[in-house]
Amino acid sequence: MVSRLVLGSGGTSRAVVDALVDEPGAVAVVDTDESRVHRLREEGVRAQAGDPTDRELLAGYDPDVVFVGVEGADAGLETTRAARDAFPAAHIVVYLGFGVDYSVMGNAREMADEVVSPGAALVGEVLDVVESDAGVRARRLRSTLRSVGGPLAIVMHDNPDPDAIASAVALRELAGSLDVPAAACYYGEINHQENRALVNLLDLDLRTLDPEEDLDEFASVALVDHSRPGINDQLPPDRRVDVVVDHHPPRAPVEAGFVDLRHGVGATSTLMVDYFDRLGVDLDETVATALLYGIRVDTDDFTREVSKEDFVAAATLLEWADLDLLQRVENPSVSADTLAVIGRAIRERVVDGEVLATYVGELSDRDALAQAADMLLDMEDVSTTLVCGRMDGTVYVSARARGTDVDLGETLRVAYEQIGSAGGHADMAGAQIPLKSIATMAGETDREAVIRDSIVERFLETIRERPETVTEHGAVGTRPDEYALVPYDPDRED
């Protein structure tokens, strides 16, 4: 929770303190006037009489935000200098009052993060900066970006979706506004037609990373739309990360210089819009269009895991985005390969109640699975779909759900995590299973049938038997005799 230190208790400082005492987080005051300090203590405010320029006195505090509101321009500057020396990582807000010389304001801006003008809704402006946790996060991000000291690699998750792409491009724009060079990077491929259309029509400059690259050219790394190096990207797991911005709940602790994990919003793009707003950086048409599409896709047009913040961000973006171009992104031409996958998915479907699962065989475009899963969900009496296919020694799985209590992310983890990797949202999830984790019985010749039965039946059985027969290790029931599954061992060579 954010802690705040108010230096001085003149009229403006007192108004700030009065507003902050009812907000979450600790508030403390240091002022030279003992009578004012006494009154504050009687009201239950932590207050100390003393010189706010005394570094030794200030060393007893560890604030996230410092508000300097002492009376007099010279005293204000000296207090600001002391606060910056004592709290180099804190966000410092300064109010110097009316009639302050322009050069004094300039000196204050060199030391402080914010210098508040008395001419604009005074107390309201101060409180918006000081009391908002989101405002503090935005300014911490700015401070972190300023301190990286060299080129920044902004890494999306593998085979990025529109939310990851838009977030990376937006963070690159924010870094650029601070004269920090940055590149929006990803491992894997962008194959989905709509995702390719987003990149091509907006002419987004993205860099594809090779897993063998050492990234020594970058001084720092930021992760967007995922939160841990080596998990859903091909960075070394011990790679130092300076910035993490994500809206997914992590499955393990996240370590970085700056971390913003807000699980209550539907898209990482929403967080990016908030940063632009709070830091006063103008959105250009390209970034706004990408962010609006990222929000719409990740919230399934504001029907999935959507929050008030997502609607507010989308409304903000409408003023800047190219809606005609966005319509072209949303309606790209469908490739012949994708149509072939959709056709095979329909022909090979297995329906169990309202659950449809299908194996399409060999793939040339893994993103066709997601398009097929989306399309099959429109079939009558179907509420859950799973489409899988194999490519380059791996079986890829894409699943969708609508109007059901099935949690697909958890279901796929239970079904496949012992033999591969899986995860996602309650209504949209995926998995990757190495073919070497699927063992055939002696004499088995139809490997395609084995793969189909292994993956499809494992999914259907997990749904049928949830949660009674799910073990703590994620195994379920007994398996048909036609196939066997073996634990995933990434070092096995067979």
Rounded to 5 degrees, φ, ψ at 300 are 50, 60
Residue among 371, 437, 420, 418 at smallest CA distance from 398: 371
Give the list of residues 6+ apart from residue 303 with CB closer than 8 angstroms, or none: none
Q: Tell me the domains of the chain and their CATH numbers.
A: 4-131 (3.40.50.720), 143-330 (3.90.1640.10), 336-485 (3.10.310.30)
Q: Mean pLDDT score of the chain, rounded to an integer?
A: 84
Please confirm whether the linkage preceding 63 is cis (ω < 30° from 0): no
Rounded to 5 degrees, φ, ψ at 405 are -90, 10
Residue among 322, 244, 310 at smallest CA distance from 283: 322
How much is the pLDDT for 333?
64
Residue among 73, 71, 99, 98 at smallest CA distance from 13: 71
Residue among 211, 184, 349 at smallest CA distance from 272: 184
Q: Two tokens at 255?
A: 């370590």
Distance CA 337, CA 101 (A): 68
The SS3 of residue 56 is helix
Strands 438-439 and 484-485: antiparallel
Percent of the chain clearing pLDDT 90 (strictly above): 48
Element housing 49 (H / E): strand 46-49
Query: Is the pLDDT higher at 57 or at 22?
Result: 57
Average pLDDT over residues 353-376: 90
Say which amino acid occupies 188: G
The SS3 of residue 151 is coil
How much is the pLDDT for 368?
87
How open is the CA angle 441-469-425, to the nearest 5 degrees?
A: 95
Give the list of residues 6+ apart from residue 115 with CB closer than 8 angstroms, or none: 93, 94, 95, 96, 105, 108, 109
Average pLDDT over residues 158-178: 96
How much is the pLDDT for 441?
39
Reported as a single tens digit per residue, the pLDDT across 89-144 is 899 998 877 666 767 778 888 899 888 765 544 455 555 555 456 778 888 899 99
Angle formed by the axes of helices 408-416 and 447-465, nearest 10°: 130
Reported as a single tens digit per residue, the pLDDT across 224-264 is 999 999 988 999 999 999 999 999 888 788 989 899 999 88
Residue among 455, 453, 452 at smallest CA distance from 480: 453
Strands 384-391 and 355-362: parallel
- The pTM for the full model equals 0.57
Q: What strands lie across the sheet with 27-31, from one edge to the other?
A: 46-49, 27-31, 4-7, 65-68, 91-95, 114-116
Strands 4-7 and 65-68: parallel
How much is the pLDDT for 402?
87
